[in-house]
Copies of this chain bind each other. A is one copy, B any other.
Amino acid sequence: MRYERANIQRLSAYRPGEQPRPGDGVIKLNTNENPYLPTDAVLQAIRRISSDSLRLYPAADAREFREVAASIHGPQRDQVIATNGGDELLRLAVTVFCEPGRGGLGMAEPSYILYATLGEIQDTPITTVTLNDDWSWPNDFADQLNDAGCQLAMVVNPHAPSGRLEPMQRLEAMARKFRGVLLIDEAYVDFASHDALSLVTTDGGLDNVLILRTLSKGYSLAGLRFGYGLGHANLVAAMDKARDSYNTDAVSQAAAVAALQSREAAAQSWQRVIEERQRVADELNGRNWRVFPSESNFLLATSPTDARAIYESLKNRGILARYFDQDRLRDKLRITIGTPQQNNALLTALDEL
């Protein structure tokens, strides 16, 4: 007998990119990790963890982390929520703001596939809005979501998988026009030329804006699972009630504090990635790929020949890129920016295919 709800039976689980074990020599350009190591301060914080702080429950409210995040980003501490990776923030937002069976979740198509999975788990209607050819938002984005009655919209900016950055005035116009909660997923913002923080810091923030941040990308801590949300205090308070009581652990809280406090060191890696991003884009364009301008740590590139075949050939050579078997993406690869050596290995492999 099946006991799970019908929507869970129907659900196709989100499938993350392949994760070979560390140290097996694979060049991983498929899940947008930072190719540079986390700062020394993070490793030191983890090594300083005491047995007694493992033994006791962690700070349920991640108070110290929230104070540090607030002081760095500008909002009040009660505008910050810490989560077990950015994914938990996404899931919590759906839980708190989307009604099962009605209301619903809006998103651009294509974007992060997990958004739709989370909507299906909640059994809330999903509305997708098709992006323009250049991956920009259609002018009636908010109208389409309002017409559908969406209670929550998730937009990733810089956009994934294209890397496009929507300008601030469009974000603000969207927030003011959309009648639900606008979650701006800034997972990749450390590699971009602007962020949307002013929407949540000015006068306590717009009452419907929530910004997602993660330590997975910019801070090279995908293995740690630590993300956070910045938004209006009412939105944060509502999610705070519904999150698991001890959703972040003592080790990751300490590491996350150290990460934010050593962000100037981390920012050096962002600069290196940005420089490489331009070089790899130029190189790919020179090889008859068509690369979309990216403000992220990856490139979406249209392949001159069959993209899936190239993905497979690269994989056979120990180089992982990301291939999406979905509309508008089947002729493209999404390629994470690696170290110069890794990027050169990719380019050499492409030349040899």
Contact = CB atoms under 8 A, between A and B. Distances in A.
A47 B51 CA distance: 11
A34 interface: yes
Contacts of A121: 95, 242
Contact of A3 (B17, B97, B247, B248): B97
A11 B237 CA distance: 11
Nearest to A36: B55
A31 to B, nearest CB: 6
A107 interface: no
A251 B250 contact: no
Contacts of A49: 43, 46
> Taking the full assembly, how many copies of this chain does it contain?
2
Interface in A170-193: 180-181
Interface in A35-94: 36-38, 42-43, 46-47, 49-60, 84-85, 87-88, 91
A220 interface: yes
B16 A245 contact: yes
A147 interface: no
Interface in A117-174: 121, 123, 151-152
A283 B51 CA distance: 30
A252 interface: yes
A295 interface: no
Interface stretch (A196-204, A222-230, A272-280, A305-313): A222-230
A55 B220 contact: yes
Contact of A252 (B1, B51, B152, B249): B249
A54 B97 contact: no
Contacts of A238: 2-4, 8-9
Contact of A52 (B2, B5, B22, B56): B22
Nearest to A84: B84
Contact of A2 (B33, B234, B248): B234
B244 A223 contact: no
Interface of A: 1-5, 8-9, 11-14, 16-17, 19, 21-23, 28, 31, 33-34, 36-38, 42-43, 46-47, 49-60, 84-85, 87-88, 91, 95-101, 114, 121, 123, 151-152, 180-181, 207-208, 216, 220-225, 234-235, 238, 240-242, 244-252, 255
Given A2-B234, A8-B96, A88-B244, 8 more contacts: A3-B151, A3-B152, A5-B96, A19-B58, A46-B251, A54-B222, A58-B222, A91-B244
